[in-house]
Amino acid sequence: MLIADKRDYRKGYKKHYELYKRLKSNNSDINSRRLLLVYSVECGLKYMLLDKWREENPRKIFESEDESKKRILKSHNLEKILKELGQMGNFKFPQLKTLHQDYAGSDAYHQLYRYCIKLPLEEQAKEKQLEETLNNIACWIEEGR
């Protein structure tokens, strides 16, 4: 695992979110733009975690005895990160069923878009809801920075 410090997470959030907004305004590739949004939100939330924990560099967390913080910081699970930030329940994440009959929750959205996994037509409304939820989180992060 590579170590990203608080500044790296903040920069990742900003760069990915700005590119997401440009791709959305151009109605460009939906999987790529949603992948950028997922990664942007994850970076922004991890930035906020480090801020809450008063840590600039997560190396101290990874070298500590606090297994809970380590698991959260290594996780892609957006719900767990939001829970640690006291935001559980403020954002609703749909569980998406793929054409392969797998389910993608907030810990697997990055894989859904990284691999361009198709969803059945009846799941596409949920997918739009997911994009809206992620965008709302990005706006909330923007307000808190």
Model pLDDT for residues 70-91, shown as the tens digit of each residue: 999 999 999 999 999 999 889 9
Q: Return the residue matching tokens 């949004």.
A: 37
Q: What pLDDT score does 2 carry? A: 85
Which residues contact residue 82 at a Cβ distance below 8 angstroms, ignoring those fewer than 6 apart? 45, 88, 90, 91, 137
Given a cut of 90, whether residue 66 has pLDDT beyond it is no
Q: What pLDDT score does 111 carry? A: 95
Q: What is the mean pLDDT of residues 17-38?
A: 93
User: What's the chain's Rg over C-alpha atoms?
Assistant: 15
Q: What is the mean pLDDT of residues 62-73?
A: 91
Of 103, 99, 101, 93, whose CA–CA distance to 129 is shortest? 93
- Residue 97 is given by DSSP the state E
- Residue 93 is given by DSSP the state -
* Higher per-residue pLDDT: 66 or 81: 81
Q: What pLDDT score does 38 carry? A: 98
Q: What pLDDT score does 144 carry? A: 76
Given a cut of 90, whether residue 116 has pLDDT beyond it is yes
Q: Return the residue matching tokens 């996780």.
A: 75
Q: What pLDDT score does 1 carry? A: 74
The helix or strand, by DSSP H or E, that contains position 80, with its residue range, turns out to be helix 78-84
Longest dimension (CA), the chain: 47
What's the mean pLDDT when you consider all of the chain?
A: 94
Residue type, position 4, single letter: A
- Can you give the residue ranges of every domain in the chain? 6-144
Q: What pLDDT score does 27 carry? A: 81
In 31-135, the DSSP E strands lie at 96-97, 103-104
